[in-house]
Each structure stands twice: as structure tokens, then as C-alpha cells.
Amino acid sequence: MTALKDNWTDRIKDFRAGLDADQVELRAMLEGQASIESGIEDERISGVVDDSLTNSGNSWAERQEALETLSGSVAEEITRRVGMMADSYPFTVHGNSLFYRSSKTGVYEYCLAVARNPKGTAEGKPHASTVFEWIARDVLALYLGSGAQGFRTGWPVHNSENRGSHVRDTFVLLAEKCGELQWNPAPGYPDDPPPSHLKDCGLDVVVWKPWPDGRHAQLLALGQCACGKNDIDASKGHELSIERLSNWLRPVSYTPPVRCFLAALHIPNEIALYELSKEAGVLVVDRARLAMLAESSPSAIRPVKGINYHELAQFYAKQKAA
């Protein structure tokens, strides 16, 4: 068993370094390159450095030492990503700078942009979260292997999906495709609730792997997607509830489904990743895993017609966060 590299007590520091590393990557993606020290500009401006110092009348030397510590943490996090992701990481490090090189699929870049701007939207473009759910669906199907099929159930409905505007429409169509997750509300529940009452049952993507004999009781993965930096915790992971689904879908499935949590953010602390997997009871797929799987088989990532993940990544990265 591989020894753990991280410590639980470092998780807050590691997440902050991860967000700072994202700032460096965003700048490099938009400008071609970025200084690693640019990741701590927010700390310089917001007074985080002053707050971390013991004495209110701290000296210039103390401030510099605190800034160097933060900068070192960002550099360590970027080094970790380089080592873990290898050729799937769309950046290279030279000296104290990060240089952008386009990935094959645009998955990493898009996840990076949507993690900063999870509620992004614009006329003529799909919601940022909708696009992330398409990516999550395709990558999860890739992970389940040959023959796996996927379906996005999340809200809002995109016009390319042809599944109607009501949650009932979505699950009736899904059941036709996979044979499970039958729409059959329990007594006292409406048969066709409007979106103002129920949008997606808390379920964003479904992936299944059919048996060759055509019978059901198949491998079924239910996915919850999380885009923003505040979504990475056990309480968010609990939002996908099989018990809640069973009020509307009866039976939900013939064998217990696999619950999945798919995040646009990196989870930089290994113990935090394992803790989320245990507490939320899910298979966790963060940005690194999404991008590495996508880059391993680019043909499996099929954007909706007219959608380009590289272009949308640039757009949502430039757009002021909603």
C-alpha cells in the first residue's frame, strides 16, 4: 500500500494552496504563461498575510517571510500536479513560471474555468454547470468501460437534449434507454410536478453498463456534480440521496447503485479525498481524475454540436464570476 503523503491537519492549508495554484493556471491559460508568485496576489491585497502574523506591528521582513511561505506552498502544489498528471497536465514549469500548452480535450481547462465561475451563463451559451455535467457524464462512462452509456438528468434542460422541461419527462426518457430508474411516485406525490416544485431530484448524471443478455440489474452509477470551491465537503456529498430518489423512482434500480461525486476542483489533500469518499459514501472524481481519464481516450469525449470546451473555458475564465 502506498504511503500517504498528506496529513489531515494540513487540509485547510492545502486547499488554500490549491486555489492559489488555480489562479496561476488561469492566468497562464489566458496569457500563455504566469509567474507562480502571481497565485498569492489575492493574499497580498486582502490582508491574509497580515492576519497570519502574530504581532499587529509586523515588520517588512516578517511579511516577506509569510509571503515566501505562501508562494512556496503554491509551487509545491503545482509540482504535485505535474508529478501526478504527467502529460495530462496542460502546463509546464520553467524556473518560476508556468507555461500553458493546450490539452487534447479541453477538459482540464474547462474544469479550471468553471471551478472559478460555477454559475456562469451568457446569451447563446449553455450554463457553465450544464457543460460540466456533460463532461462528467462522458468521463464517468469512460471509467466504467466499453459499452457504458450516459445520460444527463441535471437542471436546467438544454435544448440539444430533447427531454422535455419537466422532471417526469427526463426520467421517462431515461427509463426507456436504460430500463431502470422507473418514474413511479409514491402515494401522495404528484405524477408530474412542475420545475418550480422539482427540477432534477438531486441527480445530475446517470451512467450504466448494460449486460449483453439484455436483462437489467446492471452496473449503475448515479452522479452528483459540484463545481464551486465551497462544494467540496461531506454535506454536499450527502445531497444525492437514494432514499429521496425512491419517493419518485420505484424501484430506483434492481441492484444497489454506485454513488459518485464529480468535482471541477482539485482535491489537493489525499486524506481529505478519502474522508469525503467515506463520509459521503461515494466514488469521488475530481478535476485531476476527470482530465486524466479524458486525455487517455479523447475520442470518448464528445461535445454537443457547436460546443468547444477550449473556447468555453476561455470564455468562462474571462467572465466575471457570477
CATH of the domain at 237: 3.40.91
**Local confidence band at 322 (pLDDT 50, 70, 90 cut-offs):** low
**Local confidence band at 51 (pLDDT 50, 70, 90 cut-offs):** low
Which SS3 state, helix, strand or coil, does residue 167 take? helix
How much is the average pLDDT of 187-212? 96
* pLDDT tens digits along 291-301: 999 999 999 99
Check pLDDT > 90 for residue 63.
no
How much is the average pLDDT of 303-316? 95
Are 86 and 196 members of one domain?
no
> Could you give the CA distance from residue 112 to residue 115 in angstroms, rounded to a whole number?
5
According to DSSP H, which parts of the chain are helical? Answer: 11-31, 41-46, 48-52, 60-85, 107-116, 128-144, 167-178, 234-237, 242-245, 270-280, 287-296, 309-318
How much is the average pLDDT of 189-215? 96
Are 202 and 53 members of one domain?
no
Q: How many domains, the chain?
A: 2
- The torsion of the CA quartet 170, 172, 173, 179, rounded to 10 degrees, works out to 130
> Given phi > 0 = left and psi -120 to 50 = alpha, else beta, which region is 188?
left
Q: Position 46: which residue type?
A: S
Residue 45 C-beta-side C-alpha neighbours within 13 Å: 5
Which SS3 state, helix, strand or coil, does residue 166 take? coil
> Could you give the CA distance from residue 83 to residue 119 in angstroms, rounded to a whole number?
31
Are 118 and 28 members of one domain?
no
Q: Are strands 258-263 and 219-226 parallel, antiparallel or unpaired?
A: parallel
Host domain of residue 44: 8-100
The pLDDT, as a whole number, for residue 37 is 87
The pLDDT, as a whole number, for residue 237 is 77
For the chain, the average pLDDT equals: 89
Are 47 and 125 members of one domain?
no
Q: Is residue 28 part of a domain?
A: yes
Of the three residues 56, 83, 100, the one that is the final residue of a domain is 100
Are 132 and 91 members of one domain?
no
* pLDDT tens digits along 251-289: 999 999 999 999 999 999 999 999 999 888 889 999 999
The pLDDT, as a whole number, for residue 64 is 46
How much is the average pLDDT of 80-98? 96
Are 151 and 289 members of one domain?
yes
Are 255 and 271 members of one domain?
yes
Are 78 and 195 members of one domain?
no
Cell of 223: 452522479
The pLDDT, as a whole number, for residue 282 is 87
**Local confidence band at 68 (pLDDT 50, 70, 90 cut-offs):** very low
Cell of 296: 487517455
Of the three residues 100, 121, 148, the one that is the final residue of a domain is 100
* pLDDT tens digits along 20-36: 999 999 999 999 999 99
The pLDDT, as a whole number, for residue 141 is 98
Q: Is residue 3 part of a domain?
A: no
Residue carrying C-alpha cell 448494460: 210
Q: Please, which residues bridge with residue 223 across strands?
A: 205, 260
**Local confidence band at 38 (pLDDT 50, 70, 90 cut-offs):** confident
**Local confidence band at 65 (pLDDT 50, 70, 90 cut-offs):** very low
Distance of CA 28 to the CA centre of its chain: 20
Q: Is residue 1 part of a domain?
A: no
CATH of the domain at 75: 1.10.10
Check pLDDT > 50 for residue 53.
no
Are 191 and 288 members of one domain?
yes
